[in-house]
Chain A
Amino acid sequence: MALQLFKIADTTVGSPVNTISFSNIPSGYTDLKVVFSLRNDVASPQGTCNIRFNSDTGNNYTYRRLYGNGSSAASDTGAATNNLAFTFLVGATATSNTFSNWELYIPNYTSSNYKSMSFDAAHETNSTTAYLTMYAALWSNSSAISSIVCETFGQNFVTNTTVTLYGVL
């Protein structure tokens, strides 16, 4: 049996939006993989993308994060809150035409266990400061993942942002 990535859905932003959603995710795959190329319009070199599963707004999201910015490395913990805040998204004052490249991998997304996931993020803008980031993240919910919402609160994802959802077999 060959491992295959099946494109379940994708989004290319044609005009700025603050939310990108995938709903009715089928349960017939073993894992999910989400690939992002994105930038937002916050007046800063970097912004944030907030992710929720199944529209769950409870305080069920946590993470451990490791990141380096070109001069130092650090690690921190995201206390239980109502979304997964993935940081160091390229913002409006970063170098033109640069986009963050991210990958979120979710094994066993239909299992009855809590959902662990692995996240890698690149924020490289040819500036003095850029970020390489890794997360161990958890959604403390035993439901199968059937929807994913990516939101940049109070801001917008800019034109040409792309997000692709794959099912892994």
Chain B
Amino acid sequence: MAAKTGTYTLINSTTLSTSATSVTFSSIPGTYTDLAIVTFAGNTTASAYDILVTFNSDTGSNYSRTRLYGNGTSAVSTRDSNVSNIVVGSMNGSASTNGFSVGRYNINDYANTTTYKTMLVRQDTPGSTTFAIVGLWRSTAAITSITFTPEAPSNIASGSTFKLYGIEAGNL
């Protein structure tokens, strides 16, 4: 077996040249220990809208999510269970002037087939909100695809960037 590198490997990167209704990373190999995602994304409207994540095209009520966020005036925490996606904060509208939203995601042990999958997210939307989110997908399947879908009526704006990394643990 080749020596493990302990590094992040870029699995896929997408920069939208035109607006899109969703972005999907598919055929994610199961050869890493963890996944990390960095997003730099806006939407096509003038307002911030939520962005939703699903795994393996599962739109069943198999997700739960806890969010802690600040909107500039108050700190709020909300929780939803048995829902059909994980809301991972918002994408800014009029992003060229308001600023694109910055997302940083971690999904640990994503390829195991015995436990449910947990995701940690930090999502920052200038002029709108700063989020910390934990999401759960109640499935023992390995994660092989991840889909980002904006809340209606928005689409994901041109210029948005989504990067998926695989993390390989180093040898001790």
Contact = CB atoms under 8 A, between A and B. Distances in A.
A67 B122 CA distance: 14
Contact of B127 (A62, A72, A115): A62
Interface string B49-84: 000000000000000000011111111110000000
B56 to A, nearest CB: 24
Given A64-B126, A107-B40, A136-B128, A75 B74 contact: yes
Interface string A1-12: 111100000000
Contacts of A68: 75
Given A64-B72, A105-B102, A107-B38, A116 B161 contact: no
Interface in B1-38: 5, 7-10, 38
Nearest to B96: A113
Interface in B112-151: 122, 124-130, 132
Q: Which 4 A-B pairs have the closest CB atoms?
A: A75-B70, A66-B70, A136-B124, A3-B8
A108 interface: yes
Given A3-B7, A4-B7, A116 B126 contact: yes
A114 B9 contact: no
Interface string B66-110: 001111111111000000000000001001111111101000000
A114 to B, nearest CB: 5
Interface string A138-149: 101000000000
Interface string A74-88: 111100000000000
Contact of B99 (A105, A113, A119, A120): A113
A114 B127 CA distance: 12
Given A75-B72, A77-B72, A66 B130 contact: yes
